[in-house]
Amino acid sequence: MSRPPLPPFTRETAAQKARMAEDAWNSRDPERVALAYTEDSVWRNRAEFLQGRPAIVAFLTRKWAKEREYRLIKDLWAFDENRIAVRFQYEWHDDAGQWHRSYGNEQWEFDDKGLMRRREASINDHPIAETDRRFLWTAPGPRPADVAGLSESPF
């Protein structure tokens, strides 16, 4: 199975890959998201380490049970050959209704079929008031084309 665009990446194909990842994560479908990773993909997410698609599905299932009304924006930061770095922000609320904006960076490494074999994510959460939310499109689903990426945001 291959997942175009394939490495080596250009600026255009790296940005396309980042947007495809954003759209998949905004679906909040763990099985769909996991298909973008190799069978033995290695992850570091915050301080959690996991390996393989079943672990990815379990992780994402837990994540989206906790992070309600999740909406994500990813922007390309850098790329080279088979690696892409993105910065991202996402908004969500917990069971008590407290909203958060999570900020982070990810480094991705792909195999020659375009599947991600390594993902390293560093993430910080910041509580926000509901009135401070910026990601207001209908979810789950992709970010609409008329909603700007992060390049216009200072944070």
Q: What is the dihedral sign for C-alpha 38, 149, 28, 133?
A: positive
Q: What was the pLDDT predicted at 151? A: 84
pLDDT mean over 36-47: 98
**What domains does the chain contain, in order, with CATH numbers?**
11-132 (3.10.450.50)
Q: What was the pLDDT predicted at 37? A: 98
Q: Tokens 């194909």 map to which residue?
A: 13
pLDDT by residue (tens digit) across 98-155? Answer: 999 999 999 999 999 999 999 999 999 999 999 999 999 999 999 999 999 998 776 7
Task: Give the β-pairing of 99-110 and 37-45.
Answer: unpaired
What is the reported pTM? 0.96
Q: What was the pLDDT predicted at 153? A: 74
